[in-house]
Structure 1
Amino acid sequence: MKKVKNQINTISFFNIGSLDAYIRMANSFSILTSEKEKLLAKKLFFYGDIESAKLLILSNLRFVIHVAKNYSGYGLPQADLIQEGNIGLMKAIRRFNPDVNVRLVSFAVHWIKSEIHEYVLKNWRIVKVATTKAQRKLFFNLRKSKKRLGWFNRNEIEIVARELGVSKQEVKEMEARMSAQDITFDITSKDSCTDYSVNNLRSSFYLEDKKSNFAVKVEKENWASHATTKLSNALLVLDERSQQIIKRRWLDHNDSKITLQAIAQDYGISAERVRQLEKNAMKKLKIAIEA
């Protein structure tokens, strides 16, 4: 199917020159009869015949154009909508079973709309207005329910909610999302950094991250660095054996602290002696750190 896709790309809008020329080209391909379509579908489905796939795609390009026109109200390039629909058509043809008694166009409409829907949701706004399956359904049906410009009144909200099987609050929230506009987060290249007039203010000037405190974070990092330096210098006042005992007992990042008995076995002394050395080392460290 990748080979078919590459072949279809040779008749894209960019190669033809314009959308009108592409539409004329797509309409020039004859619509297949049911018998011819089924024969080509069998060749593709059972034998992987690439030429049959190409003919099935070309004969249905006009149908993709027809579906894509229904989404022209979203402010997105018609050429892009058609291209996405073509991808859906190719996916449908790859999955089409000719033994099922249904025309290809009836089977493909779901895949064509699915690809166009995904493209619209990704490109209509910078921030997605619909993420769940229910929100996607509401997004596309809400535009169809708009009979006039402006916001829904209370009666219209109740009617739409009842027809779509959702709550009135969901209708209100989706209408608000669809009516919102993207704004620039930072100042534009034309704005002056010294001009703080209302017209030049952007979100980055007044948004506050209440979950973080930069000053506290810097203070903690400075204190951690200071404490680490003090401890490193304090360790130098200990003899090598005492240093190793302190490091292994308190500074090494192990799942569990090493026992006195384990250290005692390594040095050939008693656990009590290790405890005494550890206690004396701690006293010296405290004095060195507080100095």
Structure 2
Amino acid sequence: MSDQLAYVGMGLMGLPMAKRLLAAGHRVAVWNRTAAKCAPAVEAGATLAGSAAEAARGAAIVFMCLTDTKAVESAVFGKDGIAEGIARDAVLVDFSSMAPEATRDFAARLLAERGAHWLDAPVSGGVPGAEAGTLAVMAGGDAAAFARAEPYVRAMAQRFTLMGPSGAGQTTKLCNQVIVGSLMCVLAEATRLATNAGIEAARLPEALAGGWADSKPMQICVPRMVSGTYDPPLGHAYTMLKDLDTARLLAMQKGSPLPMASLAAETFRMLIAREGEEADALRIFTLTEPQGREQP
């Protein structure tokens, strides 16, 4: 476990994940397009790299968590990107979420150009899961590369599952987002109904614990909605909408109906139109507020 590691992307998820690697005693080089975002990781013991290529140089495993397909392509194959520094037979573990087809294309290109392996490994669990090391990670790619990455991923996640070949992790994440995105909207409705009907909505998680309506989103999201706790954000509205739109595109290609997820996507689109892309996804609760009443 003494290999040099790299982590590219110090956003809401990447920073706490990198800090968990450092807390486990690993040597980690970090890079982010906005260098200032690396400061907390550097304070925790990381080495600041001058580019993504520099971070990847000499690393046995390179981790990455970025916003979308365009950001991933730029960070890997752009000027001073990961592909310029990654070693032959190294493993790139991509925690970003994107279309399965794009992941397969990128994986094939990295293998052909650099002889390095790509694992698509999107995560579920949000910022709390990243901080606590309780994320669920669903992977696609080569079994040998998965086995090499697993000891390190276990420092950041409680579950790391190989779902199949390249792209399988991204497909599994889209299924996850169909469930989570739709559930967030349903929880907002139920919480507003409780509030408008005069019961203490904050006690819903307690009252429903252990029943069929209980879930981790119920226990985490409802208290935040009721109290109006949106800072720091649980996750950005843009990220959820991106994933739901990707799921809808895949569903159209496969002839799979997604009526509930489609409604959820339009709900998040309304939130973004009103509050911007970086609004906390849980602020969909404010969309249920009748006009003339204060919003938390």
TM-score range with shorter-chain normalisation?
A: under 0.3
Greater percentage in helix: 1
Structure 2 length as normaliser, TM-score? 0.25
Using CA pairs under 8 Å that are at least 6 residues apart, name the structure with larger relative contact order, 1 or 2.
Answer: 2
- Rg larger in structure: 1
